[in-house]
Structure 1
Amino acid sequence: MKITDAKVFVGGPGKNYVTLKIMTDQGIHGLGDATLNNRETLPAAYLRDYLIPNLIGTDPRNSEDIWQFFYRGAYFRGGPIAMAAFGAIDMALWDIKGKLAGLPLYQLFGGKSREGAMVYAHATGADLDELLDSVAQYVEQGYKAVRVQCGIPGMPTAGYAVPDKKGNIRNYITDFSGIRPRVEIWETDRYMRYMPEALARIRARFGPELKLLHDVHHRLLPREAAAFARAVEPVNLFWLEDPTPAEDQDALRLLRQHSTVPVAIGEVFNSIWDCNRLIEDELIDFIRVAVTYVGGITHVKRIVDLAGLHHVRTGFHGAPSHSPISMAAQAHLNAWAPNFGIQEYLVLGTPECDALFPCGHRMENGMVHVSDAPGLGVDFDEKESGRYEYRPGSHPVVRLEDGTMWNY
């Protein structure tokens, strides 16, 4: 069996999804997702110009050797562009394996550990009252876990994942359109004074059973993160996400010494080497890697296995920058992983998205149920993809009130 061709498609409904399709001489194709949010043309070019020419003629069943060829064979290793491209190839090769075997991928991993995987929704509001309404909407839909973000009184701009004005709060997604990024203004003292009380009010309103998550999005220094974690301990968060930038892995020791709040980190990591010390030293409770950004299923399984040895559970990234292809890969990993924790899930199921990516996975009452179709269980309509083209965009950037650049 040989790979005969591969194509890259960029575009989609509201997002620049980067979709890889690998074809074989037996008529079986595999799909992968290389979407690198707001830098989508870079992994697409890397695939077209460098990686696909080296794929042609290889046996797609040898996915381990192909992964090692691209990773070890590169003099400059890793990084988000390369790992997103490797991740797309790896997903597509696993998709081919599943189709050859006539089995869903979770069976190739070792079978199911659970029937459904719990997901969390994103609740938000320009102020706390609007956030409470947003949480209530998701609870009514059957969600058992909700991430909560709201505007901070006196903050010059709305802040991370918060609408600028009161209004439609259902499935709010930050606007990344335009190549020049929006500037958000951050003020740590206001946040640290207000947010613990806001979280306490949410807990009082919805009771002890609802799992509450909160994302700081790298905005606090290590000492501030430790103080904030102590302040919110009574809320009993399911997790506190990205309390401080994790490039300095030892920074998490300070937080661990002062608080028992569960910590989730990893959505910007690109390899096991970004998180092995955090896992081995048990400085985090959830690992947030995404199957695209860390080089695909092959590499994610290694991280999951390492995490399982150290009481660390999975909490894969699931922002709308991940197409239904990578979300399908994570659905299979969630079904298998013995140390599964939770899955981030932003609603992708619009009619346009369903037409581009026909998929058998389903979400009901806050749980994702994986399809039993062979391979990934998701397809790609090339004709439908012709409706879309690349549109440039950028993440916002963050400055302090005095103009100093800060962490997004």
Structure 2
Amino acid sequence: MRIVEARVIVTCPGRNFVTLKIITDTGAYGVGDATLNGRELAVAAYLRDHVVPALIGRDPARIEDTWQYLYKGSYWRRGPVTMTAIAAVDTALWDLKGKVAGLPVYQLLGGRSRDGVTVYGHASGDTAEALLTDVSRFVAQGYRAVRVQAAVPGLPSVYGVGKPGETYEPASSAVPSEEVWDTALYLDVVPRVFADVRAEFGPALKLLHDAHHRLTPIEAARLGRSLEPYALTWLEDPVPAELQDGFRLIRQHTTTPLAVGEVFTTVWDCQQLITSQLIDYIRTTVVHAGGITHLRRIFDLAALYHVRSGSHGATDLSPICLAAALHVDLAIPNFGLQEYMPHSPETDAVFPHGYHFEGGYLHPSETPGLGVDIDEELAARYPYRPASLPVNRLTDGTLHSW
């Protein structure tokens, strides 16, 4: 069996996605996600111009060799564009291997380590009442874990808080919009929000919060300590992770568990954080961390240091990526949580899939491969639409982490 074609498909059924479809001389094929939010066309060009020509004629069964070929062979290693492109190839090859073997991918990864994948939803509100109502919506659906994001009085918009009745989607304009940030206001309101949520829903519901890289280490330490009475499952992305020693300072001051990693692309990005036990959950994901092959390496390292998985799973990743994540989640021994934002009906139609939500758990498809596909004819009806993520400025105009 040889690879004879690889198609790069860009579509926008409500938001932009990039998909790689690898086809063999037998007609068997596999699909992989190549979406990088706000930089989709950079990955599409990298695939078309540099990766696809190198795939033609290769043996699709040699997944590890192909991964090493694309990683080491480019010389310019790592980075989100390169690793997202490699992930698309790797994921498509795993999908193809499962189809050829007649097995769902999780069986190729060692079989089940659990019956279902615990997922968390995104609750938010622009008032305390609206937030509690939104949390109760997820509880009623059977979710066992909920991420809580709240509006900050005095700020016109805050990451993670959508408009009432609308799905939150930050990539909304061709040119980045600008938002305003005030750390003092934020640190004042968040503990009060969690006091209300915990009082309303009791101790059993897992609660999470995303600071989205906006704090300094000492600010994050203060926030973590103030949230200790409410027993969060994790505080996500408290600081920008370029200075990883910052997590050491946070650890010295709070026992609130820490999660980070959705912007990491390789095991080397998180090696220090894991081996020094500075985090509790690693949030790397299939599409940005080099595919199933490399994500499994990260999680295997994490397992040695009592760090659990918590893969990113927002709607800026296609159903192909979510399906792949579920197969990994089901197989690894150190699974923690899986983020889950349901896609729009338009997206679900373009990417027909067999995974499903039931009783607080997501379950991957039992069909061979990943159990997800792309309807190319329908995808062609949704042309690419430029959309960028926002930027943040402090009240005095200083550019700040969004």
Rounded Cα–Cα distance in structure 2 between residues aligned with 1:309 and 1:26: 41
Residue of 359, 363, 366 corresponding to 2:360: 366
Separation in 1, partners of 2:161, 2:364: 31
Equivalence map 1:1-400=2 (5 Å): 1-155=1-155, 157-163=156-162, 167-168=164-165, 172-348=167-343, 350-400=344-394
Contact 2:30 2:93 in 1 (8 A): yes
| Cα distance between partner residues in 2 of 1:130 and 1:28 | 49
Secondary structure of residue in 2 paired with 1:384: helix
Measure, in 1, the Cα distance between the counterparts of 2:196 and 2:232. 13
Indicate if the aligned counterparts of 2:13 and 2:379 stay in contact, CA closer than 8 A.
no
SS of alignment partner, residue 214 of structure 1: strand
The Cα shift of 1:177 comes to 2.2
Given that residues 162 and 174 in structure 1 are in contact (C-alpha distance below 8 angstroms), is that contact kept between their aligned partners in structure 2? no
What residue identity is the alignment partner of 1:297?
I
* Other structure's SS at 1:9 match: strand
- 1:287, 1:211 → 2: CA distance? 17
Corresponding pairs, count: 402
Secondary structure of the 2:373 match is coil
1:184 and 1:366 mapped to 2: Cα distance? 34
CA RMSD in angstroms comes to 1.0
CA displacement at 1:270 relative to structure 2: 0.7
Per the TM alignment, residue 175 of structure 1 is displaced from its structure 2 partner at its CA by 4.0
**1:133 aligned partner, one-letter code:** T
TM-score normalized with structure 2 length: 0.98
Tell me, what secondary structure is at the counterpart of 1:7?
strand
8 Å Cα contact 1:17-1:34 kept in structure 2: yes
Looking at structure 2, the residues matched to 273 and 354 of structure 1 have their Cα atoms a distance apart, in angstroms, of 34
Please state how far the C-alpha of 1:365 moved relative to its aligned partner: 2.3
Distance across 1 between alignment mates of 2:110 and 2:169: 37
Where 1:275 maps in the other structure, the secondary structure is helix
Q: Deviations over 1:303-361 (max 9, x none)?
A: 0100000000000000101101010100100110110000000012x432232111111
Deviation at 1:13, TM superposition (A): 1.2
Describe the SS at the equivalent of 2:53.
helix
Q: 1:4-47: per-residue Cα shift (whole Å, max 9, x none)?
A: 00101101311111011000011100100000001100100000
Gaps of 5+ in 1: none
Assess if the C-alpha contact under 8 Å between 1:43 and 1:84 holds in 2: yes
> Matched residue of 1:51: which SS?
helix
Q: Is the partner of 2:397 in helix, strand or coil?
A: coil
Moved over 3 A (4+): none
SS in 1 for 2:385: coil
> Contact between 2:14 and 2:347, CA under 8 Å: does it hold in 1?
no
One-letter amino acid matched to 1:385: A
Match of 1:253, SS state, is helix
- 1:21 partner SS: strand
- Listed one character per residue, the Cα deviations across residues 118-170 of structure 1 (whole Å, up to 9, x for unaligned) are 00000011122211111011111111110001111122x2211113x5x326x
Rounded Cα–Cα distance in structure 1 between residues aligned with 2:127 and 2:388:
25
Q: Distance in 2 between matches of 1:136 and 1:335?
A: 27
* Inter-partner Cα distance in structure 1 for 2:287 and 2:138: 27
| Aligned-partner Cα distance in 2 for 1:110–1:77 | 29
- Aligned partner letter, 2:379: S
Q: Is the 8 A contact 1:34 1:292 kept in 2?
A: yes
What is the rounded CA distance, in whole Å, between the counterparts of 2:348 and 2:81 in structure 1?
27
Tell me the distance in 2 between the aligned counterparts of 1:221 and 1:312: 23
User: 3-state DSSP class of the match of 1:100?
Assistant: helix
Q: CA deviation at 1:228?
A: 0.9
Contact 2:14 2:346 (C-alpha < 8 Å) held by counterparts: no
- Separation in 2 of the partners of 1:22 and 1:247? 35
C-alpha distance in structure 2 between counterparts of 1:60 and 1:368, whole Å: 29
Structure 1 counterpart SS, 2:353: coil
Counterpart amino acid of residue 178 in structure 1: S
Residue identity (%): 54
CA contact under 8 A between 1:127 and 1:152: conserved in structure 2?
no
Q: Distance in 1 between matches of 2:170 and 2:106?
A: 34
Q: Aligned letter for 1:7?
A: R
